[in-house]
Structure 1
C-alpha cells in the first residue's frame, strides 16, 4: 500500500525536530531594456537641467539704448510736384457773391401741405417687462405671431411627403412580394367567413369542455379523476391559445395538402 508523501511515518527519528531550511529565493526579474531606458532618461535630464539656453551671449557695451531709438520714424519726405492740380484760389476782396436771386416756391405752404397729406408716423412697438418701466423692442422678442401668417404655415413639408410616399411604395412592394411568395409556396388564404366559422367552432368546443369541467366532482380523490381533470384543463388551455391567435391575426394562410 502506497503511503501519502504529505503524511509523516511513525518513526523514532521523526520525534527529533529538524532545522527548517528556508528555500532559496528565485532570481529577481531584470528587464533587458533597463540600460537603454536609463541612458535615454539621462540624456533628457542633461538637456533640461537649466532654465533657458545653456550659453547666453553677453550684450556688447556698444549696443546701448540710444535716445529716440524706439520712436517710429517719420515717412520719407515727398518732393513737391508743380504739375499736380491745385485747389481753386481764394476769391479776391473785390469779388462779391451773386445776390438777389429769389425762388418762386412757397416753402411755408409746401411744408404745411406735406404735413397735412402725410401719413402719421407709427410708434415703435415695445413691451415692458419690469415694474420700473424697462422697455424692449417687441419684434425680436418672439411675442409677435409672425410665423402663423406665412402661406405655408401648418403645411406638411415636402421632404416628409416624399418620405411617406417612399414608405408607402416600399410597403406595397413588400406586400406584393409576400403575396407572390405565398402563391409560390402553395398557401391558401382563409376567407373572413371561414375564419369566423373556425373561431365560432373553437369557442363552442371550449364551452363544451368547460361545461364538462364544471360537472366534475368537488373532491378529486382518485387517480382517474385527476387524470381526467388534467386532460380537460389542457384541452381548455389549448383552445384558449388557438382562439387568441385567430383573434389576433386577421389574415391567416393555410398550406394546401
Structure 2
C-alpha cells in the first residue's frame, strides 16, 4: 500500500482548544519508513540469495510395522469356517492361541501360486457325474406269460415225396352240386311274398304316429279355448284374495326404507331459501308428492287386514 505523505494541518475543534502544528522532522521520518518497507518487499521477490540451491532434507522412513502376534491366527470370536464343528462360540477366544483353519476354508480367496492355463473347467465337467449315462449290460430276458409255438428252425428239412390220391377238381365239383342254395338265390328267383310279413293286414306305423300328433294338437287347442272362456267369465266378477301377513310386513318395511331414502334427499333440498330455477322447483314438488304417496301406502298397509284384487283395484 502506497502512503502519500501530506502536511498535517491543525483545525480548531468544537471545544475551542488550539493545537500547534506538527514538526517538519516528523513528516520526514514517516516518509523514510515507507520507502524502507518498499525496499524490503522488492528484496523478497528478487534477491541474489535466491540463486543458492537449497538443501533438501529427505524424511526418515520408519520401519514397517509388524505385529508381534502370529498372522495365521484367526481373529478373536470369528465364526468363519466352523460349520459343523463343536466350537460354537467362535475361534481364538480368551487367548491368542494358534488355530488352524479347516481344509474347506483354508484356501478361500487365494489363488494358486502358478495356475495351469490348460487346467480350466470344461463345459459340464462339474455336472458330469449327475448327467452321465450309465451303461448296463443286457441281461437275460425273462417272461412267464403265454408264448407262441416255436417256429421252424432254419436247418429243419420237411418230409419230401408225400402224395395224396384225392382228386381236388372232382371233389370241388361234387361239393358245389350238392350244396343247398342260399337266401340270395331264393330272393332272386322267387317273387316277394307279402302275405308272410309280420305286419301284413295291420295299420302302418307312420299313420299311427300322425294320428297321435293330430289328437295332441286338438287337445291343446281345446284346453286353450277353455282357459280363454274361463278368463272372460272371470273378468265380469271381482276376484279377491287376502294378502299374506309376511308379505304385508315385508312390504311395510320396504316402504319405510324407501321413505327414509326420499326424505334424506328432501332434507338436503329444504335448506335452499330461494328456488330460482325451474329444475329446483320441480325436484322439490316431485319429492313432496313421492313422500305423500309413500305415507298413504304405509298407513294403508299398517291397518292389519289387506285384501288384494286381481283386477288391479285396491281395497
Shared fold (TM-score greater than 0.5)? no
Greater Cα radius of gyration, structure 1 or 2: 2
Q: TM-score, normalised by structure 2?
A: 0.22
